[in-house]
């Protein structure tokens, strides 16, 4: 049955494209979706393929009953193809639709994950929990998984991989610095245009890890693999210790103060190094001028000044190392 107007033909064309999957859900109107659900592909194609020549822009007095393919539902029987329409089900259709949407939107909450799913110290959760509190960390983590799945079309495993990685830590830092309010905003704030590429790298690493697990499982008693697993176990222990150290990380004003101290130490060391060089030059010049009159007292005088500078340099280097250790957590 051909379309009776240009507007009807365009509408049927959109419904046909939507039913074939060529039109995005977000671009389809409720009317288009309803038509796609109520008609077969063949029926939609018949209407959509109507030529525009001679058609009015809008048809008058057209009702659903006047459209072919919209008559009584006939089910296949004894070799008969049937009408192709789908009969209505029993019960409250609106209620069933709500239940279906609820199931589709369901995403696990923090408590539903296992400890293996979440990096409690290294990734996004560890950083947020240290900076704020457990409740806020759980809420932001749940939202981060959901947002990554929705906006970047990641699987749950991929979303967890992103948040558990270095990327998650960077996102948490952006939230702490008030540059973002959510994990995804933090990722977008820090990585900018390179975010998609960085996410792809995490996805590839997850695939590589899965392949390694499969390869190891094929020959679990191989002595070389056993040695490698032992080495991995040792490395895991070191990582666990490093994760505990990260709990000591400093933030905010305390971190700024330590960085200011490093700056002051660097400047003082620069001045002390210059003073030491100048003192050596003065000592050599004075010794050359005095010649035989140069005495042990003169040498000790310069030696005392040099020792004072060296002691100060050593003290500053020790202090610098302590501050750098704190900032490296």
> 18: domain range?
6-79
Query: Which residue, chain included where needed, has tokens 């010049």?
Result: 285
Are 207 and 161 members of one domain? yes
Looking at the domain assignment, is residue 288 inside a domain?
Answer: yes
Looking at the domain assignment, is residue 91 inside a domain?
Answer: no
DSSP 123-154: SHHHHHHHHS-HHHHHHHHHHHHHHHHHHS--
The residue from 182, 205, 239 where one domain ends is 239
Looking at the domain assignment, is residue 102 inside a domain?
Answer: no
Are 138 and 221 members of one domain? yes
Are 115 and 225 members of one domain? yes
Residue 158 burial (C-beta neighbours within 10 Å; 0-12, 13-18, 19+): buried
Are 60 and 153 members of one domain? no
Provide the residue-wise pLDDT of the chain in tens; the chain has 329 residues.
566 677 777 888 888 888 887 788 887 888 888 888 888 878 878 877 777 666 666 555 444 444 444 445 555 555 555 555 445 444 455 555 455 444 444 445 555 555 556 766 567 887 787 667 778 888 899 999 999 998 888 888 888 889 988 888 889 888 988 889 999 999 998 888 888 888 888 888 777 655 554 454 445 555 555 666 666 667 777 766 666 666 566 777 888 888 889 899 989 988 998 898 898 889 888 888 888 888 888 889 999 999 999 999 999 999 988 888 777 76
- Count of domains observed in the chain: 3
Looking at the domain assignment, is residue 124 inside a domain?
Answer: yes
- The H helix count followed by the E strand count for the chain is 13, 0
The residue from 239, 264, 296 where one domain ends is 239
Are 215 and 126 members of one domain? yes
Are 256 and 321 members of one domain? yes
Are 129 and 171 members of one domain? yes
| First-to-final CA distance of the chain | 72
Are 75 and 14 members of one domain? yes
> Contact at 8 Å (CB) between 47 and 9?
yes
> Contact at 8 Å (CB) between 5 and 58?
yes
Looking at the domain assignment, is residue 246 inside a domain?
Answer: no
Q: What's the pTM?
A: 0.35
**pLDDT score recorded for residue 64:** 47
Looking at the domain assignment, is residue 323 inside a domain?
Answer: yes
**pLDDT score recorded for residue 21:** 78
The residue from 39, 58, 79 where one domain ends is 79
Looking at the domain assignment, is residue 276 inside a domain?
Answer: yes
Looking at the domain assignment, is residue 233 inside a domain?
Answer: yes
> Alpha carbon of 269 to those of 266, 289, 307, 314: distances in Å?
5, 30, 15, 10
Are 56 and 168 members of one domain? no
Are 258 and 310 members of one domain? yes
Are 126 and 191 members of one domain? yes
Are 175 and 67 members of one domain? no
């Amino acid at each position: 049955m051909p379309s009776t107007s240009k507007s009807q033909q365009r509408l049927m064309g959109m419904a046909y494209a939507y039913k074939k999957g060529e039109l995005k859900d977000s671009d389809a109107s409720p009317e288009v979706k309803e038509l796609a659900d109520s008609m077969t592909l063949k029926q939609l194609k018949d209407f959509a393929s109507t030529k525009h020549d001679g058609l009015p822009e809008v048809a008058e007095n057209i009702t659903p009953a006047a459209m072919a393919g919209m008559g009584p539902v006939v089910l296949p029987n004894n070799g008969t193809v049937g009408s192709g329409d789908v009969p209505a089900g029993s019960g409250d259709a609106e209620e069933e639709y709500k239940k279906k949407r609820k199931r589709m939107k369901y995403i696990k909450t923090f408590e539903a994950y296992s400890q293996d799913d979440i990096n409690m110290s290294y990734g996004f959760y560890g950083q947020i929990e240290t900076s704020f509190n457990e409740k806020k960390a759980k809420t932001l983590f749940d939202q981060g998984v959901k947002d990554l799945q929705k906006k970047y079309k990641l699987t749950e495993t991929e979303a967890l991989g992103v948040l558990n990685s270095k990327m998650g830590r960077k996102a948490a830092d952006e939230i702490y610095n008030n540059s973002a309010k959510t994990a995804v905003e933090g990722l977008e704030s820090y990585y900018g245009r390179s975010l998609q590429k960085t996410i792809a790298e995490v996805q590839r690493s997850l695939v590589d890890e899965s392949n390694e697990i499969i390869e190891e499982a094929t020959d679990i008693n191989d002595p070389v693999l056993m040695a490698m697993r032992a080495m991995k176990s040792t490395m895991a222990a070191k990582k666990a210790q490093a994760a505990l150290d990260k709990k000591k990380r400093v933030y905010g004003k305390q971190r700024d103060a330590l960085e200011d101290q490093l700056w002051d130490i660097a400047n003082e060391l620069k001045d002390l190094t210059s003073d030491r060089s100048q003192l050596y030059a003065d000592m050599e010049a004075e010794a050359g001028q005095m010649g035989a009159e140069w005495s042990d007292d003169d040498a000790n005088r310069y030696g005392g000044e040099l020792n004072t500078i060296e002691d100060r340099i050593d003290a500053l280097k020790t202090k610098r190392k302590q501050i750098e250790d704190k900032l490296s957590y």
